[in-house]
Amino acid sequence: MALLEVNNLVTKFKTDAGDVQAVRGVSFKLEPKEALGIVGESGSGKSQMMYSIIGLLAENGVVESGDVIFDGMDISIKNFKNKRDYNDFMRKIRGNSMAMIFQDPMTFLNPVLKIETQLIEPMINHSSLSREEAKRRAIDLLKLVGIPSPEKRIKQYPFEFSGGMRQRIIIAIALANNPKLIIADEPTTALDVTIQAQVLELIEELKEKSDSAIIMITHDLGVVAKLCDRIAIMYGGKIVEIGTDKDIFYDPKHPYTEGLLKCISNPENDDEKDLTPIAGSPPDLLNPPKGCPFVDRCEKAMKVCKDYEPPVSTIKQGHQCACWLLDERAVKK
Ligand code: SF4
């Protein structure tokens, strides 16, 4: 049984200018212990899709339709009597069987509380551990994520740690209750390049050691290359291609995925001349295109792409792509 199943999720944001259609019918499954990368540029809907799933949308965000099944439970908002019941329920799930690693550790950590309090409170609230047992586990977790002298450092405040160390603490908090699912939203974006590599290595190491499944949200295909078993490419509020890491890196089918790959530098070939940015800008999700969301930037666009949404084609089991190029009817035209 899949750990997480999302079917046809639609999320909108109410604004003065109209409804922003941030997530437009997204479906995917995540197996236990699997690592899935969700990749897309800013505004592609990747983070809002995850916030819709875990109940952390901003006030003006509304999940209009879709089902979210987590660990055998239907946690779709429509099943709850009101938003308060839904929020109470989701609060229990988050920090227990689901955990988040956010982009900026400073906005997540409370600056006036010692690391000890921030680590052990979620354990005491969500498990049967005593304060002493929770403290011992907190020290073990700090050791696990590579914080030196954890017995001493647990007594310190967030400002006494570097950016990379703070992100390690966030990871320790996320692991505290042995979650079945860890969602990492751009976990390395706020860090400098060397620290980014260290944090990614740590997440990779923890993936091997823990039983948690991971969803890694990022704008950088390079970040998911080593870590993720499968990768979903999002564009214009939709998943336009999903497949294994090999499918995406060695046999991409969507012109947007191909474009993203051309933007990654190859460490074996430092000739940056080969990097080609994708021309144009993402679609306006206040008025998304009727047909393919990538149509205005796609060099291979056909007439049908403008007027009709591309159907999802299955290339092989687990590798799917929404592009008219894969549909015989369009190629004939
Ligand atoms: Fe390009 Fe058409 Fe495929 Fe969209 S459906 S990616 S516009 S070829």
Q: Given strand 319-322, what is the order of strands in its sheet?
A: 98-101, 181-185, 213-218, 35-39, 230-235, 238-244, 319-322, 312-316
**CA 235–ligand 1 middle distance (angstroms):** 12
CATH 3.30.1330.60 fits 4-97+177-332, yes or no: no
Residue 105 confidence (pLDDT): 74
Asked whether 86 lines ligand 1 (CB < 6 A), one says no
Residue 194 confidence (pLDDT): 79
Residue with CA nearest ligand 1 atom 3: 323
Residue 329 confidence (pLDDT): 85
Ligand 1 atom having least distance to the Cα of 306: 7
236 near 24, Cβ under 8 Å? yes
Please report, for the chain, the start and end positions of each structural domain, with discontinuous segments joined by +: 4-97+177-332, 104-176
**CA 184–ligand 1 middle distance (angstroms):** 30
**CA 229–ligand 1 middle distance (angstroms):** 26
**CA 325–ligand 1 middle distance (angstroms):** 7
Ligand 1 atom having least distance to the Cα of 310: 5
Residue 150 confidence (pLDDT): 95
Residue 189 confidence (pLDDT): 78
Asked whether 295 lines ligand 1 (CB < 6 A), one says yes
Asked whether 292 lines ligand 1 (CB < 6 A), one says yes
CA angle 135, 141, 146 (to 5 degrees): 130
| 11 to 36, 37, 125, 209, 269: CA distances (angstroms) | 21, 20, 31, 35, 41
**CA 306–ligand 1 middle distance (angstroms):** 9
Task: Indicate the top mutation candidate among 294, 304, 312, 328 to test ligand 1's pocket, ranked by most ligand atoms within 8 A of CB.
Answer: 294
Task: Indicate the top mutation candidate among 233, 234, 239, 295 to test ligand 1's pocket, ranked by most ligand atoms within 8 A of CB.
Answer: 295
Residue 179 confidence (pLDDT): 92
Could you give the dihedral angle defined by the CA atoms of residues 251, 256, 259 and 261, in that order, rounded to the nearest 10 degrees?
-50
Task: Indicate the top mutation candidate among 254, 297, 324, 328 to test ligand 1's pocket, ranked by most ligand atoms within 8 A of CB.
Answer: 324
**CA 310–ligand 1 middle distance (angstroms):** 7
What proportions of the chain, in percent to the nearest 5, are helix, strand and coil?
40, 25, 35
Ligand 1 atom having least distance to the Cα of 305: 2
Instruction: Report the Cα–Cα distance between both ends of the chain, in Å, rounded.
Output: 41
Residue 59 confidence (pLDDT): 93
Asked whether 298 lines ligand 1 (CB < 6 A), one says yes
DSSP string, 216-278: EEES-HHHHTTT-SEEEEEETTEEEEEEEHHHHHHS--SHHHHHHHHTSPBTTB--GGG--PP
Note down pLDDT in tens along the chain; length 333 residues. Answer: 899 999 999 999 999 999 999 999 999 999 999 999 999 998 999 999 999 999 999 999 999 999 999 999 999 999 999 999 999 999 989 878 999 888 777 778 999 999 999 999 989 988 888 999 999 999 999 998 889 999 999 999 999 999 888 988 998 998 888 899 999 998 887 777 778 888 888 888 888 888 899 999 998 888 898 889 999 999 999 999 999 999 999 999 999 999 999 887 665 555 555 677 888 889 999 999 999 999 999 999 999 999 999 999 999 999 999 999 999 888 655
Residue 259 confidence (pLDDT): 93
**CA 308–ligand 1 middle distance (angstroms):** 10
**CA 215–ligand 1 middle distance (angstroms):** 27
Residue with CA nearest ligand 1 atom 8: 301
Identity of the residue numbered 247: D
Total residue length of the chain: 333
